[in-house]
């Protein structure tokens, strides 16, 4: 039985990934510091569900390597997802992004280096801010416009120049789905529509995102994790890779909003405001590289939003 150690396992992607690896017959271990950046009850709910499958989450911080060294030593692979993850929030609180995303990641990396444990880690589409679209993995990132973006670009540099034999960075594109993040658009817009509050719409609605359903993200994570356990095809066996994981299509922000309204059968009120300085106007994933390993996303926004709204209504008991 293979063992995967997941950091940030009480988070949205960590939770869904842990469930999937368990279903696939892996032993799953992991950690989370359960910080209260967003409603921590959601993290405890995810933990309770994972506990039901026999998966335990160590309550600890990635900045404390002694607390998880043994777990990495006993793992075949590390899936490193723990982070602060919001570009606009990073504009207000950059230090969290330095402490957790850069310093914390360095601690994980150093322990993994001791045992040469392969690491799959979360980067982000936003490292490509300002580059010609669609974004691919061979064009070089330039200047990220917020601390979140440059912390994720730092992670890519940290792993690219590490002593690890194998590491792979994943650039996720706007992930959404059940048990999602309350600080992200889908959750916030759903809350606002149901509470009859105005939806804050940045850049007067003129934004496009490559929205990616969490099951498609997990499909990509599993493919890349299987791949990292195979010998690298390089002459010395050493390999650092980057992959985009997106749906591969752009959706206008207002079309996304209308999809939520349709599923809630209610119309929202909009507060149209200028762009936030941490925003990027458009994202779009070129997923050719991951497709070559068998990746095929299956969930368009029409289906994914329906799944989210149906989960939300049940979870929060909304009629």
User: Minimal distance in Å, beta carbon 174 to ligand NAD?
Assistant: 5
Between 82 and 257, CB nearer to ligand NAD: 82
The rounded distance, in Å, linking the Cα atoms of 118 and 112 is 7
User: Minimal distance in Å, beta carbon 120 to ligand NAD?
Assistant: 11
Between 83 and 164, CB nearer to ligand NAD: 83
The alpha carbon of residue 218 and the mean position of all alpha carbons in its chain are separated, in whole angstroms, by: 10
What does residue 146 show for φ and ψ, rounded to 5 degrees?
-160, 165
Instruction: Report cis status (omega within 30 of 0) of the bond before 105.
Output: no
The rounded distance, in Å, linking the Cα atoms of 139 and 133 is 10
Structure tokens at 60: 């600890």
Contact 299, 226 (CB under 8 A): no
What residues have CB less than 8 Å from 258, skipping those under 6 apart? none
Between 93 and 238, CB nearer to ligand NAD: 93
The rounded distance, in Å, linking the Cα atoms of 120 and 166 is 9
Helix %, strand %, coil % of the chain (to 5):
45, 20, 40
Structure tokens at 69: 């060294």
Between 26 and 97, CB nearer to ligand NAD: 97
Is 148 known to be catalytic?
Answer: yes
Angle at 257 between CA 253 and CA 262, to 5 degrees: 145
User: Minimal distance in Å, beta carbon 265 to ligand NAD?
Assistant: 26
Q: Strands 251-252, 208-209: parallel, antiparallel or unpaired by DSSP?
A: antiparallel
Q: Which of 148, 179, 202, 312 is catalytic?
A: 148
Contact 76, 117 (CB under 8 A): yes
Q: Strands 212-213, 175-176: parallel, antiparallel or unpaired by DSSP?
A: parallel
User: Minimal distance in Å, beta carbon 93 to ligand NAD?
Assistant: 12
Q: Strands 3-7, 27-32: parallel, antiparallel or unpaired by DSSP?
A: parallel
Structure tokens at 45: 């709910």
| Contact set with ligand NAD (CB under 6 A) | 8, 10-14, 31-35, 43, 61-63, 81-83, 85, 100, 104, 122, 124, 172, 174-175, 181
Between 117 and 244, CB nearer to ligand NAD: 244
Contact 71, 113 (CB under 8 A): no
Between 47 and 267, CB nearer to ligand NAD: 47
Between 181 and 240, CB nearer to ligand NAD: 181
The alpha carbon of residue 191 and the mean position of all alpha carbons in its chain are separated, in whole angstroms, by: 21
Q: Which residues are tagged catalytic? A: 148
């Amino acid at each position: 039985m293979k063992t995967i150690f997941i950091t940030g396992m009480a988070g949205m992607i960590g939770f869904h990934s842990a469930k999937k690896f368990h279903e696939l017959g892996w032993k799953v271990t992991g950690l989370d510091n359960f910080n209260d950046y967003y409603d921590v009850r959601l993290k405890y709910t995810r933990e309770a569900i994972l506990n039901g499958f026999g998966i335990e989450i160590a309550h600890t911080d990635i900045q404390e390597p002694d607390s998880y060294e043994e777990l990495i030593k006993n793992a075949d692979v590390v899936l490193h997802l723990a982070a602060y993850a919001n570009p606009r929030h990073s504009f207000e609180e950059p230090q969290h992004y330095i402490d957790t995303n850069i310093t914390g990641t360095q601690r994980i990396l150093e322990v993994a280096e001791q045992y040469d444990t392969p690491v799959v880690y979360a980067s982000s589409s936003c490292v490509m801010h300002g580059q010609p679209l669609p974004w691919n993995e061979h064009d070089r990132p330039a200047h990220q416009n917020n601390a979140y973006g440059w912390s994720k670009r730092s992670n890519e540099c940290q792993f690219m120049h590490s002593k690890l034999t194998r590491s792979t960075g994943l650039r996720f594109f706007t992930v959404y789905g059940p048990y999602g993040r309350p600080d992200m658009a889908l959750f916030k817009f759903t809350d606002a529509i149901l509470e009859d509050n105005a939806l804050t719409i940045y850049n007067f609605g003129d934004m496009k995102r490559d929205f990616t359903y969490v099951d498609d993200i997990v499909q990509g994570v599993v493919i890349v994790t299987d791949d990292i356990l195979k010998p690298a095809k390089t002459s010395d066996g050493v390999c650092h890779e980057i992959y985009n994981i997106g749906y591969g299509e752009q959706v206008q922000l207002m079309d996304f909003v209308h999809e939520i309204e349709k599923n809630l059968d209610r119309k929202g009120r909009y507060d149209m405001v200028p762009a936030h300085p941490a925003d990027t106007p458009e994202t779009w994933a070129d997923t050719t590289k991951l497709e070559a390993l068998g990746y095929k996303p299956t969930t368009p926004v029409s289906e994914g939003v329906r799944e989210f709204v149906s989960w939300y209504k049940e979870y929060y008991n909304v009629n």
